[in-house]
Amino acid sequence: MREIDLRGLKCPEPVIRTKKALEDLDDDIIVSIVDNVTAKENVIRLVSNLNLKYEIEEKDNCFYISIEKTNGNIKVVEAEGNEIAIVITNDKLGAGNDELGKVLMKSYLYALTESYPMPKVIMFLNAGVKLTTEGSDVLDNLEKLVDGGTEIISCGTCLDFYGLKEKLKVGIIGNMYTIVEKMNSAGKVINIG
């Protein structure tokens, strides 16, 4: 049995660390310890989606989720023909509070680095190009995606509009024709804005 202390970690960290432990460890039982209901529900959802057995014990204001690895090693393999293209059109995720939107975008891009399949390409348009340029707090996550094989393309017209062309830090500069080609050839296009 192995315990993973996930107390105090922000979303999506408890789920990602639980998933990594399930993938990497040979232990029969893994216990994820979380300190809030949201993390508990997210870990349970992950475990349920993986068809694993689990039990929950609540003590000292924490949840101890015992997960039985009945299916051996867990690996999610990218299916051929399911290439994903993501279009990001803003430097914030969702409408409402801008600070929350920045936190959500950072969390989303981090979660992408830990997910399978990784997207084949991420295209940044309009204010989304701010994420690929100097001063962005998501550059590390974008670099991880590039290292994992994801192509990063920023719209050249958009970079020019915001005066950021010389400040591009990750990926390449693309044009609308290239972006349309990538979208048309993808098995699935996800729009984030």
What are the extents of the domains in the chain? 2-68, 84-192
d(CA 36, CA 97): 23
> Alpha helix locations (H) across the chain?
13-24, 37-49, 98-113, 139-147, 156-161, 176-185
CATH 3.30.110.40 fits 2-68, yes or no: yes
Digitized pLDDT (tens) for each residue of the chain, 193 residues in all: 889 999 998 877 888 888 888 887 765 888 999 998 888 988 888 888 777 889 999 999 999 999 987 655 454 444 444 689 999 999 999 988 999 999 999 999 999 998 878 899 999 999 999 999 999 999 999 999 999 889 999 999 999 999 999 999 999 998 888 888 889 888 889 999 7
Q: Give the type of residue at 114.
A: E
pTM: 0.68
Fold of 84-192: Hypothetical Protein Ychn; Chain: A, (3.40.1260)
User: Taking Cα atoms as reference points, which of 156, 114, 149 lies closest to residue 12?
Assistant: 114
